[in-house]
Amino acid sequence: MAFLPVVGAAFLPVWAVILAEAVPAVFLIAVLAFFRDPQRSVPDDKDILLAPADGRITDIEAVEEPAFITGRALRIGIFMSIFNAHVNRAPCRVKVQKTSHRPGKYKNAMNPHSGVVNESNALYLVKTDNPADRLIVRQISGAIARRIVCRAQPGQRLAAGERFGMIKFGSRTELYVPLLRGNDKGWRPKCLVQIGDKVKAGLTPLVKYEVESRPAGNLRSSESASLIAGPLGPEGHDCN
């Protein structure tokens, strides 16, 4: 018996011995499963942004992002349960501009508001392929998760799907994508997922860049609201 002294086990009923042996074994298996780091065959497509975390899509929203993107951005939130692999990966080929750790609370990470009040670490990234958009990946602690690990350093270049950190024991990861960029080719980010979808880091495309017939900067204001519309399955739906 791995977890009970032989003498003590002799005075316990059989069911108690089995339970005492099973609980630590289950805990050990859960810990090993949590820290697993599966190999992934990353898609070779420069026009997509991959999920930065394993988990479930909990929210998709257009927000103002004044700190780095300095404008309207599409925010996609991913909740990582204790059953998911918790390794974080780069959404595409990027250069790390800076990282920023913010202390905070430890609210339930399923709530999108947790991204505002909880401890977090933000990676400010610039795509190295066209369009050279600014992106943000934010690692957010949860009610159980109390440690954020980020190995990325300013100036470092990351390949698509490359590991850069993890959040331990349940958490949230957010991806921020600019909605409008006045570039010559008129790139348009199209959302490919919907709330409730399960995604895998470095495998599942969240956003695909498409080229508009006119530059995005020339779109009328009435048209800009459609930029987060995109197919979310076989029949297609809107992200907003």
41, 171, 213, 221: which is the annotated catalytic residue? Answer: 171
Rounded Cα distance, 73 and 140, in Å: 18
Q: Are strands 134-141 and 94-102 parallel, antiparallel or unpaired?
A: unpaired
- Taken in order 230, 228, 78, 175, the sign of the CA dihedral is positive
H helices, E strands: number in the chain = 4, 16
171 given a catalytic annotation: yes
Two tokens, residue 129: 């392929």
Helix (H) or strand (E) holding 16, with range, is helix 14-34
| 225: DSSP letter | G
Q: Active-site residues: which are they?
A: 171
